[in-house]
Amino acid sequence: MLILLPILVPLLTAIVLVGCWTRPSVQRIIALGSSCVQLAVAALLLHQTSTGRIVTIAIGAWPPPFGIVLVADILSALMITVTGVVSVAVMVYSMSGIDANREAHGYYPLLSTLLTGVNGAFLTADIFNLYVWFELLLISSFVLTALGGGKGQLEGAVKYVTLNLIASVVFLTATGVLYGIAGTLSMGDLAARIPAIQHREILGMVAVLYLVAFGIKAAMFPLYMWLPASYHTLPAPVGALFSGLLTKVGVYAFYRMFTLVFPAMDFGMTTLILVISGFTMLVGVLGAAVQYEFRRLLSFHIVSQIGYLLFALGVGTPLALAGGIFYTIHNIIAKANLYLIAGVAARLGGSYDIRKLGGLFSAAPWLGILFLVPALSLAGVPPLSGFWAKLAVIRAGLEREHYLLGAVALITSLLTLFSMSKVWSEVFWKQRDSNPETDADPAQRPIAYQVAPIALLAAITLTLGLFAEPLFALVSDAARQLLDPSAYVDAVLRRAP
């Protein structure tokens, strides 16, 4: 029953929120409360699964493999927990960080349906159901992308919507062909049947179709163009939620499908994924180097970070996957935080263009300190969470003699540091030549709501860095579950009462 709640709570919240459409102040409270409940439920689920137990439920009590089964193993529970953390942060931030116009047009209900889709995608063990959850989170994100938009935002929305719809069509086609040859949609059943299927070449094609579909959603090279074309037009809390969660849903789908259904080794995909990962890391970070729009710069870093996650998947050893999962968690938190910080910097300095900003360290030293935590963590400076994540991934790569890619990862890390120091010197350090044109809106709500979630996420980044051991033990267990999917398959096919 517990496993249903991460989907039910945001869904019911969305319905309730639509019911009080005209009262944004009530919506804020309900949405925040709902996020807190989700986080609590997720933490409970994580506690249940952390011993290695796999929690399942068959929807409608249809016997597997015919019905849809929801499954929570450590990876799913971890992802849901991080989703809960980010959603709480975004809801608190939205208390004062989103304009009244968006609030009046369904901002909170849309966030809730988006979270429903994200949680559903993390929990389902049915490939077609995964498609449906993807569509739910996509359509919510489509509307959020276009909501309240001026010129730039609508242009970004057209690109975002088009490329993501193509990804959905590819995903759907792959699923149809896969059903045609395997005769089942349950991931557990697929994992059990696929080794015996004769048409390897068709399976290989289906695997490549999934690579493209998830690749667009995860923004991997060379399919990432939609991301830096649209994310920088979003208001900060929406950008934080998208950058933290949406691409990572694609990455989660990669980790799940290419360990469970298409073990990457069996389909000759390893080399492909590794080559792509190298390009993704480099292209992303080089793209960021020339950017001066705060959010656009961060968008390119999202792409770059996806490269590390694919690198870990391509290496595929227990250490690599553990590092990859650790990296995902660290990245979601650090990245969402940087977007929120960009929002506060723009509120204080009146612009997202880092050349126009400046002198924020003397105006708001606390923001500078809070910026340094996720920024240095993203670059992989010890002892922050990014350091351990990078250490594990790169070390696993070197153990398997991927020296070139190890070097690329290290160079990318260095360039990330360069990029972050550019932001630091432009936004916080340099003298400001002109006075800030801040909109002194008397109706503006207290900035404390915006700073509190930033401080919370920074504290989590610090904690994950200083006390990495418990989480690392947990992600190592998660990696073992991924690499030996028999327990997962058993849990899906033979449902515990």
User: Can you give the binding site for another protein, defined by CB under 8 A?
Assistant: 128, 131-132, 135, 138-139, 142-143, 146, 149-152, 154-159, 161-162, 165-166, 168-169, 172-173, 175-177, 179-181, 185, 229, 232-233, 290-293, 353
- Shortest reach from residue 287's CB to another protein, in Å: 10
Minimum CB distance to another protein, residue 177 (Å): 5
In the complex, the smallest distance separating the C-beta of residue 313 from another protein, rounded to whole angstroms, is 26
Q: Long-range pairs for 478-481 at CB < 8 Å and ≥24 separation?
A: 478/73, 478/74, 478/75, 478/78, 478/321, 478/322, 478/325, 479/318, 479/319, 479/320, 479/321, 479/322, 479/324, 479/325, 480/318, 481/52, 481/54, 481/73, 481/74, 481/75
Taking the least distance from each CB to another protein, the nearer of 132 and 407 is 132
Please, what is the minimum distance in Å from the beta carbon of residue 229 to another protein?
A: 6
Q: Which CB sits closer to another protein, 47 or 199?
A: 199
On whether the CB atoms of residues 247 and 306 are closer than 8 A, the answer is yes
For 57, which DSSP code?
E
* One-character DSSP codes across 85-115: HHHHHHHHHHHHHS-HHHHHTTHHHHHHHHH
- Residue 173 Cβ, how far from another protein at the closest point, in Å? 5
| Comparison of 214 and 326: residue with beta carbon closer to another protein | 214
Query: Cβ 159 to another protein, closest distance in Å?
Result: 7
353 or 490: CB nearest another protein: 353
DSSP H or E run through 336: helix 318-349
Q: Pick between residue 229 and residue 389 the one whose CB is nearest to another protein.
A: 229
Helix axes 294-315, 247-256, angle to 10 degrees: 0
Q: Closest approach of Cβ 183 to another protein, in Å?
A: 8
Cα-only R_g, the chain: 21
Distance between CA atoms of 462 and 383, rounded to whole angstroms?
A: 8
Nearer to another protein, 149 or 318 (CB): 149
Token pair of 203 as six digits: 């399976």
Nearest approach, Cβ of residue 128 and another protein (Å): 6
Minimal distance in Å, beta carbon 182 to another protein? 10
Q: Which is nearer to another protein, 232 or 347 (CB)?
A: 232
For residue 168, the minimal CB distance to another protein (Å) is 8
- Closer to another protein by CB, 183 or 446: give it: 183
Residues 161, 138: Cα–Cα separation, whole Å: 8
- Minimum Å distance from CB 179 to another protein? 6
**Of 206 and 409, which CB lies nearer to another protein in the complex structure?**
206
What's the closest the beta carbon of residue 180 comes to another protein, in angstroms?
3
Report whether 318 contacts 468 (CB < 8 A): no
- Is residue 299 within 8 Å of residue 278, measured between CB atoms? no
Query: Which own/partner contact pairs does 53-61 have at CB distance under 8 Å and 24+ positions apart?
Result: 54/481, 54/487, 54/488, 54/491, 55/2, 55/3, 56/3, 56/125, 56/491, 56/492, 56/495, 56/496, 57/1, 57/3, 57/4, 57/495, 58/495
Residue 66 vs 366, nearer CB to another protein? 66
By C-beta, is 33 or 176 nearer to another protein?
176
Phi, psi of 71 (to 5 degrees): -130, 135
What pairing do the DSSP bridges indicate for beta strands 55-58 and 69-72? antiparallel
Is 405 within 8 Å of 271 (Cβ atoms)?
no
175 versus 476: smaller Cβ distance to another protein:
175
What is d(CA 335, CA 241) in angstroms, rounded to the nearest whole number?
Answer: 9
Q: Which residues does 391 contact at the CB level (< 8 Å), separation at least 6?
A: 323, 380
Residue number with CB closer to another protein (156 or 235): 156
Residue 361 and residue 358: Cα distance in Å, rounded?
8
Q: Work out how close the CB of 233 gets to another protein at its nearest, in angstroms, rounded to a whole number.
A: 6
Q: Is 359 left (phi over 0), alpha (psi -120 to 50) or beta?
A: left
Residue type, 298: L
| φ, ψ dihedrals at 128, nearest 5° | -75, -35
